[in-house]
Structure formats: C-alpha cells, structure tokens
Amino acid sequence: MLDLVYAPFAEFEFMQRALVGVIAIALGGGPVGVFLMLRRMSLTGDAMAHAILPGAAVGYLLAGLSLPAMTIGGLFAGIVVAVAAGLVSRFTSLKEDASLAAFYLLSLALGVTIVSLRGSNVDLLHVLFGTVLALDDDTLLLLASISTLTVLALAVLYRPLVLECVDPVFLRSVSRAGTPTHLIFLGLVVMNLVGGFHALGTLLAVGMMMLPAAASRFWTSDITMMMLVSIVIGIASGVSGLLLSFHAELPAGPAIILSAGAVYVVSLVLGREGGLLWLAWPGRHLEA
C-alpha cells in the first residue's frame, strides 16, 4: 500500500514537480480562499479566474507558451476586469455580481477565441485545464514566489482583513486601511489565480482556492485554524489527485479538483462545525 503512494513520487521527476507545484498552490490559495469565503466573494474568485484568460491568451498569441508573457497578460487582464467591474457597479445601477458575470462571460469567450486563432485544440486544452504534470523550473519558481508573497502579505494584513470580514463599518471608522487592504487582497487573488492557471488551467484554478476553504469551515470557526486546515486539505487533495491520476490514468488537474471536492463532501457530512450529522444529532451541548 505504501509503495502505491511513495513509488510514483520516488521514480518519476514529473510527479515530483507536480507535487511541489500543488503544495505551493495550496499554501497560497487556501488562506486566500478562506478570506474570499468569509467576505462572501466566492463567486468573485470564479469570475476572476476566467477574467485572466484573455490576457494570458494575448501573451500566448504574441509569444507562444511563454511563462512571462502569459503571466504578465493574465495579471493585467485580471486587474483590469476587477477595476472595471468595481467602476461599473459604483457608477451605474448594475450590482457588482452582475457586472462580474458580464465580464466573466466576455473574458471566457474572448480568451478561447484568441487561443483558437493561433493554437491547436491541444493548446486550448492546456490553457483551459492546465499542465500540472509538465511544470518546469521557471513555473515552479513562479508558484513558490506567489505563495511566499501571499503568506507574507496575509501576515501583515491579517488584522484589517479579519476586521473587514467581521465589521467593515467599524474598520472604516477607526482606520483608513480598509480600501488599501481590499485592493491588495484583490491583487493577491489575481496573483494566485494566475499561478494556479499555469498548473490547473483557467477553468480549474479557483478550485484549489475555494474547495479547501469551504471544507475547512466545517471543522473550525477560528479563522487562523481555518487557514491552516485549508492548506492541509489543499495539499492532501493535491497528493491524492496526483496519485489518482497516475494509477487510474485520469487527467491530473480534474483529478486534483475531484479529490478536493470529495473532501468537501465528507466535511459537509461529518464536520463538527455545522456538518449534516452534527446538525442531525447535536448531542448534549445544551444541557447543564
């Protein structure tokens, strides 16, 4: 049994690289996903994941499968869509969720069209679903840099981020840090989505952010512990997904997200903080 788990990572370098990649994604994406969930911005993360596609596609159109070109293009497109959606919701009667949905649909269609102009169906699949089993040194360095910067930024901004989740009005009344914190946080979201895009593709990148975060909420109500649990779930999902892909000959990216989804379903049923079984049998906690 241990050999089935250990052997693929010991014998194949591409599995080792994929493992390092998913660990880096989990370290940065899990905590960011927790704050997205607490701020009720989960669907914003999904919309932003698709918003980076046109920029990455333009980078691909100009330079092929170039890591710097696609990364810079994805970052630029994500920031533009985030700012544009905010401006539309602020200066028109359209709410932010509706404006994000509009930009998300336009971005997805535009990105697929741009990739199709130059690339093959294989290139399009790589852009949409990622190439986690083909990560090179430069991509791993990018993922590690993004996760490191994310952890450091969250450590510095932890208190205003928590306050904004709990009571944004109070934060605005005692500090001017609310708006800068929100903008920096959106930047972290875009960065982690761009990193996840290189490994899991634009359609699946948000999965390693939101599924571990949502699962962690069923195990603890403490925000710090929630972040740590989301990282553990993300790493476990990455490892199990890679093993499932290797032994069952499945696509690696979808296998990783399916593993994270399975953990979410188990947490939904068994989690001690609002899980279905705990709600059905609440126990003796109300007795003296």
pLDDT score for 270: 92
Q: Provide the domain limits for residue 120.
A: 2-280
Cα distance between residue 214 and residue 73, in whole Å: 29
pLDDT score for 259: 96
Q: Flag whether 94 is in a domain.
A: yes
Q: Flag whether 118 is in a domain.
A: yes
Q: Flag whether 269 is in a domain.
A: yes
DSSP assignment letter at 138: H
Angle at 179 between CA 173 and CA 183, to 5 degrees: 160
Q: Flag whether 286 is in a domain.
A: no
pLDDT score for 284: 54
Q: Flag whether 222 is in a domain.
A: yes
pLDDT score for 286: 47
- At position 70, the amino acid (one-letter code) is M
Q: Flag whether 288 is in a domain.
A: no
Q: Flag whether 285 is in a domain.
A: no
- The CATH number of the domain holding residue 83 is 1.10.3470.10
Phi, psi of 110 (to 5 degrees): -65, -40
**Token duo for residue 162:** 């928590």
Q: Decide if 274 contacts 214 (C-beta within 8 A).
A: no
Choose among 202, 209, 207: nearest CA to 39.
209
pLDDT score for 244: 94
Cα distance between residue 180 and residue 160, in whole Å: 10
Question: Which residue positions in the chain have pLDDT lower than 70?
Answer: 1, 90, 96, 119-123, 282-288
Choose among 19, 13, 12: nearest CA to 144.
19
Q: Flag whether 192 is in a domain.
A: yes
Query: Hey, what's the torsion of the CAs at 84, 205, 42, 179, to 10 degrees?
Result: -50
Domain count of the fold of the chain: 1
pLDDT score for 63: 81
Q: How many CA atoms lie within 13 A of 20 on its CB side?
A: 18
